[in-house]
């Protein structure tokens, strides 16, 4: 289940144990899910204790190894929707500069998105 966590994406490298507000699982052999304040979801392998941020796991499925050196930008930031359609792989610099601009959302199919325009 391992996805490289040696990225500069500080949003996604926070400890799962800290700030965990919700914990769900049905038995010890299933993946455990954690919800953290700020809208981040994590999956944890009970056998190894390894955790992965769902947005990074989804971005890995969409962008492959490119995400190792990039941030997973949520285009619907308030909801932190982890669907591939609403995630973008941005460099740390692109991500930081984009959010510093405090862009207005752009409506796409009725959704207010923060599209970086890549």
55 contacts: CB under 8 Å, gap ≥ 6 = 12, 40, 41, 72, 74, 80, 82, 87
- Cα separation, 38 vs 42, in Å, equals 12
pLDDT number for residue 23: 45
pLDDT number for residue 117: 66
pLDDT number for residue 64: 94
pLDDT digits (tens, 9 = 90+) for 91-116: 999 999 999 998 888 888 888 888 87
pLDDT number for residue 90: 93
pLDDT digits (tens, 9 = 90+) for 58-88: 999 999 999 999 999 988 877 778 888 889 9
Its pTM stands at 0.63
Lowest mean pLDDT among 1-10, 26-35, 39-48, 81-90: 1-10
């Amino acid at each position: 289940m391992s996805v490289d966590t040696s990225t500069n994406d500080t949003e996604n490298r926070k400890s799962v144990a800290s700030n965990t507000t919700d914990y769900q699982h049905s038995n010890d052999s299933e993946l455990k899910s954690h919800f953290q304040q700020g809208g981040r979801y994590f999956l944890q392998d009970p056998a190894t204790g390894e955790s992965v941020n769902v947005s990074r796991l989804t971005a890995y499925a969409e962008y492959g190894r490119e995400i190792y050196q990039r941030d997973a930008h949520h285009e619907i930031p308030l909801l932190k929707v982890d669907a591939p359609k609403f995630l973008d792989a941005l460099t740390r610099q692109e991500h930081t500069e984009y959010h510093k601009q405090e862009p207005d959302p752009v409506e796409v199919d009725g959704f207010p998105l923060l599209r970086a325009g890549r």
